[in-house]
Amino acid sequence: MSANIFFKKAFLFLESAEKDFSIGLYLKVISSCWFSLEMLIRGILITRFGGAPRKEGALLSRFSDLLKKLNIMDWKSIISQLKLIYIMRIQVDHQNLIPDEKQANDILVTTRKLFKRLINLFNLNNLVFL
């Protein structure tokens, strides 16, 4: 399985989140932000281990193990933010809460920062679609 397609999708989802925000589609912003990070994490795990858990909960847990093992200084904060975005995505896509503009903006800002942090952390700056 090639990780590059997941990295490409990560960028496409982030782009989509930016566009969705600009036209006020706040539900979609939250979903796209999560999918962007999910694709990035999948790509990273595939690069490292040749595969990644299908279920999102297991994916987060596996990624948490990886960051801890690599002794990343801010790994707890990274996991905490990823989990918040994942839980918000579940609320938005499957349950009864609706985000407002501020929440969508906060999640988008956090996603941009996380995205940049993970790209730098795993030396993905040379990807052709950057």
Partner 1 sequence: MSLKVIIRKIDELSDATLDLTRRLINLLGDNLVAVESSSDGDFNLRIILRRKTWDTIEKILKTIEKVEEEHGIIGKIIPEILETGEVNVR
> What does the alpha-carbon distance between residue 30 and residue 48 come to, in Å, rounded to a whole number?
27
The rounded distance, in Å, linking the Cα atoms of 74 and 121 is 11
Looking at beta carbons only, is 11 or 122 nearer to partner 1? 122
**Least Å from the CB of residue 114 to partner 1:** 14
Q: Minimal CA–CA distance to 21: which of 110, 92, 100, 104?
A: 104
**What does DSSP assign to residue 50?**
S
Shorter beta-carbon distance to partner 1: residue 8 or 62: 62
Q: Count CA atoms closer than 13 A to 63's CA, side-chain side.
A: 31
Chosen residue from 56, 105, 110, 117 binding partner 1 by CB under 8 A: 56
Per-residue mark of binding to partner 1, 70-109 (x: CB under 8 A): -----xx--xx--xx-xxx-xx---xxx-x---x------
5: three-class secondary structure by DSSP: helix
Segment interacting with partner 1 (CB under 8 A) among 6-14, 30-38, 39-47, 62-70 = 62-70
Q: What share of the chain is helix, strand, coil (3-state, %, to 5)?
A: 75, 0, 25
Query: 72 or 127, CB closer to partner 1?
Result: 72
Interface residues with partner 1 (CB under 8 A)? 55-58, 60-61, 63-65, 68, 75-76, 79-80, 83-84, 86-88, 90-91, 95-97, 99, 103
